[in-house]
Amino acid sequence: MTAASTPAAPSAERLQAFVAQGLAPVEVQLAAMAEAMVSGHPDGLQAAATALRNAAADFSRCLDVPGAAQAVAACSPLQARVRQAGTALAQHRTQMARRMAIVDRAVASLLPDVAAKKAVTYGAGGAMRSRFG
C-alpha cells in the first residue's frame, strides 16, 4: 500500500468543527432544560431531560472519534464551550436533586402512610400481630 492510497487523517480544524457541531445541540438542550426547570411543567421537564440526555450521548460519541479530544484541547474557545456545558450540566443535576428532595418531603407530609410504607426495609410494613397474643 502506498502513501498516496492511505486515507489522510482529518485535520485539527476539521475535527474541531466536527466537535463544535456535536456540542451545539448540547448547548441548545441545556438552555431548554433551564427553561423547563423555571417553568416547572413536569411534561416539559421530562421532554427536555430526555432531549438533553440524547444530545449528550451524541456528543460523547463525537469525542470518541480518534483525535477529537486532542482537537478540543488545542482550541481554547472550544475547550471553554465544553467546560461551560459541563458546568451547566452539573448545575442542572444539582437543581434536579434539590427539586426531587423537596417533592419527596412534600409527598411525605401530604401522604405520611405512603411514605412510611415506602421506607420499610424488611417485612410487609404496617401493623403486624403476634401469633402469641
CB-based burial label for 39 (10 Å; 0-12, 13-18, 19+) = exposed
Q: Report mean pLDDT in 10-residue bins for the chain, 133 residues.
A: 54 91 97 93 92 96 92 93 96 92 88 64 57 58
- pTM value > 0.85: no
Per-residue model confidence (pLDDT) at position 123: 57
Specify burial of residue 72 (Cβ count, 10 A radius: 0-12, 13-18, 19+).
buried
What per-residue confidence (pLDDT) applies to 40?
Answer: 83
Residue with cell 401530604: 110
Mark 5-31 as b/e (b = at least 16 C-beta within 10 Å): eeeeebeeeebbebbbebbebbbebbe
Residue written as cell 430526555? 50
Q: Note the pLDDT of residue 1.
A: 45
Instruction: Indicate the DSSP class of residue 119.
Output: T
**Would you state the pLDDT for residue 62?**
93
Residue 124 is predicted with a pLDDT of 57
Task: Tell me the residue ranges of DSSP E strands in the chain.
Answer: none
List, in order, residues 6 or more apart from 47 with CB less than 8 Å away: 36
Q: Which pLDDT value is given to residue 10?
A: 77
pLDDT of residue 67: 92
The Cα 62–Cα 52 span in angstroms is: 15
